[in-house]
Chain A
């Protein structure tokens, strides 16, 4: 089946630093990738949608200058949290579509970000 990986699985950083999270589709070409954020006991909230080679489309309320998304190839998208603050601590999940079932999203295992 379609596999999506994320790296790192966990990251701890100091306030004010930037953190990059990678999302890779391992066995299919992902024309679209999605980034979600999940708070404890909350649902997944869509942050942005990115198409390969295009600028990401951000959901209302998501700061595009803080959460930089790059989708430079059909197998890799990155989310960079710039000038991280403790309130950015969360679980970030990516998904990818464009594989065997074009209208199905395949999810990565998530990245736990803790900002001290």
Chain B
């Protein structure tokens, strides 16, 4: 079946440090890949996505590239801010339309200190 493995946290960084959160997946065919972010007390928000191999998703300074050869979708940001402190979830989807299903990784807690 489908599965997502992501780097376990927690991750603690200083402001302006470089961030990498690793994510690898197992799936048949060609899934779409996502990164979601959950700020304290809020619901999950879509951060970025990629729907085919070699696509790069980007948003708010975060980037991730869909690497089919390594089945990976690592999240990176060149310079983190305190406001980036949150839980980050890697996910994949199979199927189409509004009935597609998401499979999530366990989440990685990021804390950025000033």
Contacts and interface: CB of A to CB of B under 8 A. Distances in A.
Interface residues of B, number: 21
Interface residues of A, number: 25
Nearest to B5: A43
Interface string A16-57: 000000000000000110100000011110100101000000
Contacts, number: 50
Given A43-B89, A43-B107, A102 B45 contact: no
B106 A4 contact: no
Nearest to A30: B98
Contacts of B99: 32, 49, 51
12 contacts: A32-B99, A41-B106, A42-B106, A43-B104, A46-B102, A46-B103, A49-B101, A95-B44, A105-B46, A107-B43, A107-B45, A109-B42
Interface of A: 4, 6, 31-32, 34, 41-44, 46, 49, 51, 93, 95, 97-98, 102-110
